[in-house]
Amino acid sequence: MTIAILYRKELREYDFGPGHPFCGDRYQLFHKFLAQKLKPEGHYKILKADWATDEDLMRICQRDYINFTKQYYSSVNLGLEGDGDFFQYHSLDNLPVGRPGKVEEAARLVIGQAKLAADLVQSGKYQKAVSIGGGLHHAKRASGEGFCLYNDVAFTAIYLMERYHLKRVLILDTDAHDGNGTSEYFYSDPRVLFIDVHQDPRTIYPGTGFALEIGAGEGIGKTVNIPLPADAGNDSYKLAFEEIIEPLTAEFKPEIIIRNGGSDPHFNDGLTSLGLTVAGFEMIGQKVKEMSTLCEGKVIDLIASGYHPGVLPYAWMALISGLADFGVSIEEPSPIPASLRTDAHLPDTQEVIDEVKSYLRDYWHCLQ
């Protein structure tokens, strides 16, 4: 299977400055790893997208937020003092350190890649498209946070529904952090099934994504949060797929799957406390591939997160390899701690799953 991988070197500008956890070298790091690990012929094609316009951004953002974000990040990139209204529009974690890259321009590129990915898949040119740099799931209509300026996950779903009139879109967020921004966009929208599997929000930013958060109004039951205990590993994720994610997907019958999330659920990430191994990331990719048989194989995959450079390219490659069935061998870059060689938190995960089902069973036949 040949998949589309959207990437261009300008993504490196998505860099908040020296010492900030989110730096732009991640994209080149993965691009080089991919080229070394697997030749493109018969596997993937690297494609370049254009930058999003203001009109594109208006699908997901307020005009004043776009204007401020463009002006502020352009100024600080040039070494100038930014507008003092920063905290009206952005949280502290989006504050640049020193002199950042052209962050806002790179954020527009990420949205442009999401748009191209949707067009490629819906046109039938590719069944599966991967946007390197995508998955900026904390951004909202009028504010940015969590290293995210513009929410390409939300853009992808909204663009598909507006441009192609899709009525059943599945978003699967496997990032270690709850996709609070994405959740806000679709909390009352019955067209989107938003499933988010993440670390227990009592132990990690942004402190949202509890099992009882299930949507509202016409969208009640369509937001599904699976908050895993700290150190939950491969078996916990497998259980979440088998007992919740796969049955809901089969009942929902999506027209397309959008998955986002990078390497930060890895046990050695550094900013998170989950227990996935490289094999676990490949399993996630494989599960999504299997689920996509319900929607003619259509998947848009958005990958950006991860905070250990020694882990990131291995986990990203495992996700993509599982999704595209590349069949390449990807070694584990870090020694697996003895405490994680078996998933000791499986009973705790089962309790979480039972709780999730208790909140959702009135809305889904497969959970009754």
Q: Could you tell me whether strands 3-6 and 223-228 are parallel, antiparallel, or unpaired per DSSP bridges? A: unpaired
CB atoms under 10 Å from CB of 210, counted, come to 16
- DSSP string covering 112-140, please? HHHHHHHHHHHHTS-SEEEEET---TT--
Catalytic residue status for 198: no
pLDDT single digits (tens) 261-291 = 999 999 999 999 999 999 999 999 999 999 9
Determine the residue type at 115.
Answer: K
Cβ neighbours of residue 134 closer than 8 Å, sequence gap 6 or more: 110, 113, 114, 117, 152, 153, 260, 301, 302, 303, 304
Side-chain-facing half-sphere of 61: CA atoms under 13 Å: 30
221 φ/ψ angles, rounded to the nearest 5 degrees:
90, -10
Cβ neighbours of residue 129 closer than 8 Å, sequence gap 6 or more: 3, 4, 5, 6, 116, 117, 120, 121, 299, 300, 301
The shares of helix, strand and coil residues in the chain, as percent rounded to the nearest 5, are: 45, 15, 45
What is the signed CA dihedral for 330, 277, 346, 355, rounded to 10 degrees? -100
Question: Which pLDDT score is estimated for 334?
Answer: 87
pLDDT single digits (tens) 227-271 = 999 999 999 999 999 999 999 999 999 999 999 999 999 999 999
Greatest Cα-to-Cα distance within the chain, rounded to the nearest angstrom: 58
Q: How far are the Cα atoms of 100, 184, 239, 240, 258 from residue 252, in angstroms, in the given order?
A: 42, 20, 19, 17, 14
Strands (E), the chain: 3-6, 44-47, 128-132, 169-173, 192-199, 223-228, 256-260, 299-303
Low-confidence ranges of the chain (pLDDT < 50): none
Residue with tokens 């590349």: 326
Spatial CA neighbour of 250 closest among 197, 292, 300, 189: 292
CATH topology assigned to domain 3-367: Arginase; Chain A (3.40.800)
Q: Which two tokens stand for residue 136?
A: 């900026």
Q: Active site residue: 43, 90, 138, 266, which one?
A: 138
Q: Which two tokens stand for residue 53?
A: 């316009």
Question: Which pLDDT score is estimated for 315?
Answer: 98
Question: Which pLDDT score is estimated for 85?
Answer: 93
- Rounded Cα distance between 272 and 307, Å, is 9
